[in-house]
Structure 1
Amino acid sequence: MGDSRGGAARELVVLGTASQVPTRTRAHNGYFLRWDRAGFLFDPGEGTQRQLTHARVPASAITHICLTHSHGDHTFGLPGVLQRMVLDGARHEVTLAYPAEAEAYVDLLVRLAGPPAGLALRRLPCGPGVAVDAGTWRLVADRLDHRVPALGWRVQEADSRRVLPERLAAVGVSGPDVRRLLEEGSVRVGERVVTAEEVTVPRRGQAFAFVMDTRPCAGALRLAEGVDVLVCESTFLTPDAELARDYRHCTGRQAAELAAAAGARRLVLTHFSQRYGEDVGVFAAEAAQVFPGAVAARDLDRFALPARRR
């Protein structure tokens, strides 16, 4: 998966890739997922407002903010983002989703923002399950294994069907009849009834998973199952696997093992400890031993979602 600078309809914009301590080249966490008309901001750490500016992503593009847990490197940027959304002219409803156990902490962050006058903010304390059902897609949460209550997130597009033009031509369906066939399920052509199943094939919906600050666990595996893109923390490298276990984080290899076990198509690594310096290539190299093609994200990288599976 290469970088994309063309403003794809569905893309991941990486705003920050540091863990607890930012570095000269890595800001605190922040990830923006552009999903058609929806915009998901995951874990806005300190400096997210500035990183949005560098990435040329207007705060008004955010429709959903999803927090995995209450640690500051994943949340301290929230008040500034909320204020910036007002300045950028956001007039739509914004959903703020977070673990229900973090209610008091989130309340404090929102109050630090003003609260931002003029912003229609819907707070959504969550547990495992479907958090938002928009019809064509769902936002799903599942439990992670960290030192505080934590949730991972999955954006799942509904399955649909893809029209095959050659089959339409073969049965003589064209013009307005195509739309009627898809909406009603069948259409009469002369003496025969053509069904939608005859001229379409199933198309699996795209899926994206965000797994942050956790040891390997069942919830992470469920979130990552069959996704097109998995964003996964890899705070440590394998020589420090005991530290990863004790602090409830993943190594690069464990992130790759998760992606492989879940059947993910792409793996983007992030949340790198400052102890390893500025070269994040070592994380990609470790993960690639298990999951070839794993990418270690850098601040302001962009990744287009791969084409839907046929």
Structure 2
Amino acid sequence: MSLRELVVLGTASQVPTRHRNHNGYLLRWDQEGILFDPGEGTQRQMLLAGVAATDITRICVTHFHGDHCLGLPGIVQRLSLDRVRHPVAAHYPASGQQFFERLRNASSFYETATIRQEPVSADGPVATGTFGVLEARALDHGIDAVGYRLVEPDGRQMIQERLREFGIAGPDVGTLLREGVLGDVRVADVSVVRRGQKFAFVMDTRLCDGVFALADGVDVLVIESTFLAEDTELAVAHGHLTAAQAARVAAECGVRQLVLTHFSQRYRDPSRFHAEAAEVFDGEIIVAEDLMRIPVPKRLSL
């Protein structure tokens, strides 16, 4: 059975707190394990969350501010220490190449893991596979930053009653799916479209076209909400979003599940983020907490 969930490793912004580690998010997506923005302490948070280095198949860094990347040296070295056999792709803004190289080689270690560096230099697809398409879009921050979007292609869901009517069973079902036709029976005769799921990851940014493009129609939007609306001027000045702005994106883009994260240490009561977002967005809102596991919502019936 496939597993799709977000494992939250850290939810703080620039300054960690007693209860919030620096950033870190692992998306389990069937056979993929995509680690987003490993900040300081990610390796230990993985241990507490029950995540192994062998679970990581891909690393995505949005930008090279410390709270989003200073955990990279530990992760890179842990991949070798645990002798991870599969190659791990690493995506990050191409302008930060020197930072990635420095972090990857921050200290001496015996390297055995294979890390494929795949810097992002333009909007569009950065990887394809059985998971679908991983895309990147430029964001509006103080330095070059990108957000990521995972798009699963549409598939087919078989209707068992129709299969029985046509006497199709066993290996013939797979043949029909692959070939699109079996004798006089078309795949459309015995199935309906199964919409692919979509996931978006948006960190440090002001509102911009890239934010809305990434969030468009996704099942899960993980998005920074560093500030509350009372501090909108600070948010704009420092290249961040408020909870209200994140909720506006979710509402306008038809998001199903909104996950707020990356909170400034100035706010003591996390329920304020939920309350502010709920005034704008009437869908599911989750205020992320460290070590939380968030299932990807079940597919909607057509």
AA matched with 1:251: T
- Percent identity of equivalent pairs: 53
The equivalent of 2:64 in structure 1 is 70
- 1:214-253 C-alpha deviation (Å, 9 max, x unpaired): 0111101111111110000000000100000111100000
Tell me how far apart the structure 1 counterparts of residues 110 and 59 of structure 2 sit (CA, whole Å): 15
The equivalent of 1:153 in structure 2 is 148
Tell me how far apart the structure 2 counterparts of residues 203 and 306 of structure 1 sit (CA, whole Å): 14
Are the aligned partners of 1:82 and 1:116 in contact in 2 as well (CA < 8 Å)?
no
The equivalent of 2:164 in structure 1 is 169
* 1:290 alignment partner, one of 280, 295, 299: 280
Query: Deviation above 6 Å: which 4+ runs of structure 1?
Result: none
Indicate yes or no: 2:105 matched with 1:111.
yes
CA RMSD, 1 decimal: 1.3
Indicate yes or no: 2:251 matched with 1:260.
yes
Are the aligned partners of 2:39 and 2:68 in contact in 1 as well (CA < 8 Å)?
yes
Tell me how far apart the structure 2 counterparts of residues 94 and 252 of structure 1 sit (CA, whole Å): 33
Tell me how far apart the structure 1 counterparts of residues 151 and 139 of structure 2 sit (CA, whole Å): 18
Q: CA deviation at 1:89?
A: 2.7
Tell me how far apart the structure 1 counterparts of residues 237 and 81 of structure 2 sit (CA, whole Å): 42
Tell me how far apart the structure 1 counterparts of residues 108 and 136 of structure 2 sit (CA, whole Å): 28
**Equivalences for residues 208-247 of structure 1 within 5 A:** 208-247=199-238
- 1:154-210 C-alpha deviation (Å, 9 max, x unpaired): 11111111111011112222222212211211112xxxx111110011111111100
The equivalent of 1:100 in structure 2 is 94
Tell me how far apart the structure 1 counterparts of residues 174 and 2 of structure 2 sit (CA, whole Å): 26
**Equivalences for residues 173-184 of structure 1 within 5 A:** 173-184=168-179
Q: What are the ranges of 5 or more consecutive residues in structure 1 without an aligned counterpart?
A: 1-6
Q: What are the ranges of 5 or more consecutive residues in structure 2 without an aligned counterpart?
A: none
**TM-score, structure 2 normalization:** 0.96
AA matched with 1:219: G
Tell me how far apart the structure 1 counterparts of residues 169 and 254 of structure 2 sit (CA, whole Å): 39
Residue correspondences, number = 299
| SS, match of residue 90 in structure 1 | coil
106-115 vs 216-225, which moves further = 106-115
- 1:49-70 C-alpha deviation (Å, 9 max, x unpaired): 0000000000111010000001
Call closer, same or farther: CA 1:133–1:56 in 2, change over 3 Å: same
Indicate yes or no: 2:59 matched with 1:59.
no
